[in-house]
Chain A
Amino acid sequence: MTMIQSRAQMRLSIFSLIPVLLIAGTASASAAGSETDFRAAYAAAEAAEQEAGRLRNQWTVTAAALADAKTAAGKGDFDKAISSAKEAEALAKASIFQATSEKEAWKDLEIR
């Protein structure tokens, strides 16, 4: 297979994925979030944030996303609350990854 053929095939496969992703997105958006779903999402985010705290590497944006989730849940907007909690979890996990990889990676920056 030539390089051009391979690229064309890749483009085709990406384009064929788009409707699938759109349908999946619509399906998840149409299912309204419940309080139970929010509690689960929030607990997962909080656990990840606590781990980041244990590594002494929390991010301000994670705390903000957790606060947003709580505010939205307080107003009964569980779709938004779940979305913010998931964002907080993703941010907390990224900060954990950063702290873990930096245990050695900091040495690359050192002036020698």
Chain B
Amino acid sequence: MVLVLTPPRLVLAALAALALSAMQPAGAAEQPDPAADAKAFRNYFVRKFPDVKLEDFVNGPYALNEDMRRQWEEKEQFPPYEFSLEMGKEMFARAFPNGRTYADCFPNQGVGIRQNYPYFDDREGKVVTLELALNRCRETNGEKPFSYLGDEMAALTAYMAFTSRGKPFDIKIPDDPRALEAYQNGKRYFYTRRGQLNFSCATCHVQNPGERMRAEVLAPALGILNAMPIYRSDWGGMGTISRRFTTCNSQIRGVPLAPQDEEYRDLEYYLSYVSNGLPISGPGARP
């Protein structure tokens, strides 16, 4: 049916539209409110999965599927990430040729700090992730950076995550419009559909967690980064957050951005912030 607006109706409609726009100050709808977002995000998943304890969301599909959980609990007796964890511990302790170590680049000597990454660097005006900070540390000490998708970076972040196990994510958004913009960019990236399959991150991890995509059970977005890096049986090895983001993009037939591209860093900032309060559980294992 086509609604034909006669002139008096047209005027009324225009007046109504004007009145509505006058009720809402310009730009008000665009103003990000991270605290409100995080609350709504958490409530959504708690309502969707009322039987899952809040802190258990960090276990991804294992929190949602009893059979998979039993298999995982058995696997955890000899966790597949153990070799990577050992390698990371050794690498972390080994001094660079100049005598300095990774510990010298981080607060608290790099122990128990994973929950504070990524953070917004007010000098640079950008988000700094743990992977980026590790490579910057290497470069400062005359070393070549590691691939963000490779085993070395996964091992180092696995060790650092392990020293933070149980500590709640504590991502801060300082009172700085650039930080808020980075957060908002990350949120936009998370919800934006891309790739030939027309999927956003949210299509899988908000709309369909717990559902199967082929053999995989999709993880909820709440707490999804707390377990990183992860050993994935599908990959036959460890993977960093960078590897996870780029693989997700390829799977939906989108060309991934460069690892640690500013948009990926902002995405990590957003996703970590909305999981504030949930414990670090990395390194993790996934099917």
**A binding-site residues for B, Cβ under 8 Å:** 56-61, 63, 91, 94-95, 98-99, 102, 105-107, 109-112
The answer to the question of B115 belonging to the interface, with a C-beta cut-off of 8 Å to chain A, is no
Which of A63, A95, A106 sits near B200, CB closer than 8 Å?
A: A106
Q: Is the CB of B191 within 8 A of A110?
A: yes
Q: Is the CB of B194 within 8 A of A102?
A: yes
The answer to the question of B254 belonging to the interface, with a C-beta cut-off of 8 Å to chain A, is yes
Chain B interface size, as a band, is 20 to 34
The answer to the question of B278 belonging to the interface, with a C-beta cut-off of 8 Å to chain A, is no
New A-B pairs, 10, CB < 8 Å, besides A58-B254, A107-B191, A111-B44:
A59-B196, A59-B253, A61-B196, A102-B192, A106-B188, A106-B191, A106-B192, A106-B193, A109-B207, A111-B206
Which of A60, A61, A63, A102 sits near B193, CB closer than 8 Å?
A: A102
Least CB distance from A110 to B in Å reads 5
Q: Which of B163-197 contact A (CB under 8 A)?
A: 187-188, 191-196
Q: Is the CB of A59 within 8 A of B40?
A: no
The answer to the question of B257 belonging to the interface, with a C-beta cut-off of 8 Å to chain A, is yes
- Which chain A residues lie closer than 8 Å to B192 at the CB level? 102, 106
- Which chain A residues lie closer than 8 Å to B188 at the CB level? 106
A50 to B188, CA, bound (A): 22
- Which chain B residues lie closer than 8 Å to A112 at the CB level? 40
Q: Is the CB of A110 within 8 A of B254?
A: no
Q: Is the CB of A59 within 8 A of B200?
A: no
Quick one: given A91-B196, A109-B200, A111-B41, are A59 and B191 in contact (CB under 8 Å)?
A: no
Q: Is the CB of B255 within 8 A of A59?
A: yes
- Which chain A residues lie closer than 8 Å to B257 at the CB level? 56
Residue of B whose beta carbon sits closest to that of A59: B196
- Which chain B residues lie closer than 8 Å to A105 at the CB level? 193
A102 to B193, CA, bound (A): 7
Least CB distance from A80 to B in Å reads 21
- Which chain B residues lie closer than 8 Å to A91 at the CB level? 196
Q: Is the CB of A58 within 8 A of B255?
A: yes
Q: Is the CB of B263 within 8 A of A60?
A: no
Q: Is the CB of A98 within 8 A of B194?
A: yes
Least CB distance from B184 to A in Å reads 11
